[in-house]
Amino acid sequence: MPLPESLDAITGDTDSRALRGTYGCFPSGVIALASMRGGAPVGLAASSFTSISVSPPIVMVSVQSTSTTWPLLADRPALGLSVLSSHQGAQCRQLAGPSADRFSGVAWTSTEAGAVLLDDALAWLVCSIDRVIRAGDHEIVLLRVHQHAAESGAPLVFHGSIFRSLTAIS
């Protein structure tokens, strides 16, 4: 695709569907963010996750401001963040679906502090909220990492509005 002749051609279209398509050109991993509330797991799936700092250990996830699940997580003392494996696409779709069905048939473990971690994930982080920053139609949630573990394997990747897996380049 050739570059537009002017900057106006690059910045002129902010149609939300077209913009989502542009954003979708960048692949991202997928995580589950979950905690216990009232004796049951509550959580959501997100593809806007990244590491921020090693010292202190901080990661970031972005959550849509209109989410009805985020307010149920925002006051929890501990949140579990599970980096989903390439074989967990169906679980991710379920976690993005209706709240009542999100954990039906999904294997998970809860820490003493209430962080919920999905079994068979590629990595796990037990976190607490460090700070929340409003940014457009999302909340940027900075999470302090207290515990973590990882397995070897391939991550679930979201690209072009579909799930994919990685292929090594030799």
| CATH code where residue 137 lies | 2.30.110.10
The pLDDT value recorded for residue 8 is 57
CA–centroid distance for 101 within its chain: 18
What per-residue confidence (pLDDT) applies to 71?
96
Asked whether residue 11 is assigned to any structural domain, the reply reads no
8 domain residue, yes or no: no
Asked if the peptide bond before residue 155 counts as cis, ω within 30 degrees of 0, the response is: no
Domain-embedded: residue 46: yes
Structural domain includes residue 3: no
Number of H helices, E strands in the chain: 4, 12
Is residue 75 a part of any domain in this protein?
yes
Q: Is residue 119 part of a domain?
A: yes
Can you tell me the mean pLDDT for 3-32?
69
Which residues form the domain of 32?
Answer: 27-161
Is residue 3's pLDDT more than 70?
no
Tokens 């570059």, residue? Answer: 3
The predicted-structure confidence for 49-69, as pLDDT tens digits, reads as follows 999 999 999 999 999 999 999
Q: Is residue 2 part of a domain?
A: no
* Domain total in the chain: 1
Give the pLDDT score at 9. Answer: 56
